[in-house]
Amino acid sequence: MMDKNLLSSIAEQIKSYISLESTAQYFEETKVNDNDFTRIDPKEEFEGDIFAVDGSNGVIFDLVSLKYNLIRAGYVIYDKKNWQKTVIFDKIFKADPEDYGDQFERDLKRHFDIDSCLVLAKTELDRLSTYYRELQEYIALSEAISEAKAGDLVLYDGNFAYWTDPFRKVLESISTQAENKDVDLLAISKSSTFSWGKEYSKPFVLHTGHVGSQIISDHPWYLKLSKKNIKPEPEGKNWNGTIYVIKLHQDSEFVFRLDVPHYVSDRIDEALGNLVLYSTSSECLGYPHALFRAHRDIRITDQERMHVNNLLLDELSIKGVNDIQVRGSLDYHRVLEMKQGRRLM
C-alpha cells in the first residue's frame, strides 16, 4: 500500500510547482515587466484561408530490437470557420537503431533537396519514431504552404527553435517558402519546457499566464521572450525567428508558446489579430479550432493500429510465418500483456 505521508509530500511539491507564490519574485527573476504584455485586438474580418498541420505515430509491430511504426502527418483547411478538407499522408517507419539513416535521407533529398547523413546520439535513439514523425510533419507543412495563397494563415502544432542540422535546414527552407508565398506561418506548442527560478525550476509559460491574465484581463495578449531570464535561452540561436507566450481568448485558462519566423515578427499584431478570430470555439476556447480539428482528424487510433497489425500478420502468414513464430520473436513482457485474440503488437 502506498505511504500516505509520501503522497502528501509529493502533493506539496506539485502544489509549489503549479502555484505562483510571488508575482514580485516572478518579475524580478525573469526580467519580465508589466509593459511587456501586449494586448491583441481581434480583426473585424479575415479573408484568407487557415491551414493547420499536425502529425501522429503509433507502434504497429514491436520486435525485441526494433519497432515498426505507423507515421501520419497532414493538414486541414478552413475557409473562415468552415472546414474544407483534410489531407493525410501515411508511412511505415522501421525504428532500427542500427539502420535508420536511409529513411530520413531519402525524404530530406526528395522534399527539401538536402543531402545529409543523419547521425543521432545514443541518448536520442529511443526517439527515432518521434523524429521521423516530425520530418513528415515538415513535409506536410511544406505541402500546405504550397497550396496556400498570399495572406493565408498556416498553423503548425509544435515549435521551430533549437533544432540543429538537418532539421534546421529544413525549417530554413520552409520559412523561405512561406515568406515567398507571403503567408503568416505560426507554430503553436501545447506544452513548453521553459522554466524560471533560482532555487528550483518553475513553469514559465504557466506562471506567465497567471501574471498576464491579471495585467490584461479583458483581451487576448502576447509576451515577447527576447531578453528574458528563462531557461533555455529564448533567442533561438539556430533559428532566425521570435518566440512568444500567447493567450488567444480572455476567458480561456490556457496559454501557449508561439514560434514565428522573422518576417512574421514584423507584423505580429496583424497575424495574431487574425488568429484570435478563430480561437473562440466552445470545443477548444482559446485554441485555434483548425488545429483542434487537425488533431482529431490526423491522430492514429488504437483501432487503426490493430487493423494495420492484422493486415501485416496476414502478409506474414502468406509468406509462411505463423503466429507462434511471431510470438516467439517478441519481448516476453508483450506476450504477458496480450489480450485474447490475434493482436501481436
- More confident: 152 or 4: 152
Task: Give the pLDDT band (50/70/90) at residue 204.
Answer: very high
Quick one: average pLDDT of 316-335? Answer: 72
- Mean model confidence pLDDT for the chain: 91
Task: Give the pLDDT band (50/70/90) at residue 236.
Answer: low
Task: Give the pLDDT band (50/70/90) at residue 1.
Answer: confident
Is it the case that residue 344 has pLDDT exceeding 70? no
So what's the pLDDT on residue 330? 66
d(CA 91, CA 118): 19
Class level of CATH domain 38-298:
alpha beta
Task: Give the pLDDT band (50/70/90) at residue 328.
Answer: low
C-alpha cell at 275: 488568429
User: What is the biggest distance separating any 2 CA atoms in the chain, rounded to whole angstroms?
Assistant: 70
Is it the case that residue 343 has pLDDT exceeding 70? no
So what's the pLDDT on residue 325? 73
Quick one: average pLDDT of 170-182? Answer: 96
Residues of the chain with CATH 3.30.420: 38-298
So what's the pLDDT on residue 333? 57
So what's the pLDDT on residue 74? 98
Quick one: average pLDDT of 52-71? Answer: 91
Laid out side by side, the sheet with 49-62 consists of: 37-39, 221-224, 241-247, 256-261, 184-189, 153-157, 49-62, 67-79, 82-95
Could you give the angle at the alpha carbon of 242 between the alpha carbons of 241 and 247, nearest 5°? 140
So what's the pLDDT on residue 321? 81
β-pairing verdict for 256-261 and 241-247: antiparallel
Quick one: average pLDDT of 286-292? Answer: 98
d(CA 208, CA 151): 30
So what's the pLDDT on residue 329? 63
Is it the case that residue 250 has pLDDT exceeding 60? yes
pLDDT in tens, 78-128: 999 999 999 999 999 999 998 999 999 999 999 999 998 888 888 888 889
Task: Give the pLDDT band (50/70/90) at residue 131.
Answer: very high
- More confident: 278 or 322: 278
C-alpha cell at 93: 517507419
Is this prediction's pTM over 0.85?
Answer: yes
So what's the pLDDT on residue 175? 96
Is it the case that residue 341 has pLDDT exceeding 80? no
So what's the pLDDT on residue 237? 61
β-pairing verdict for 153-157 and 49-62: parallel
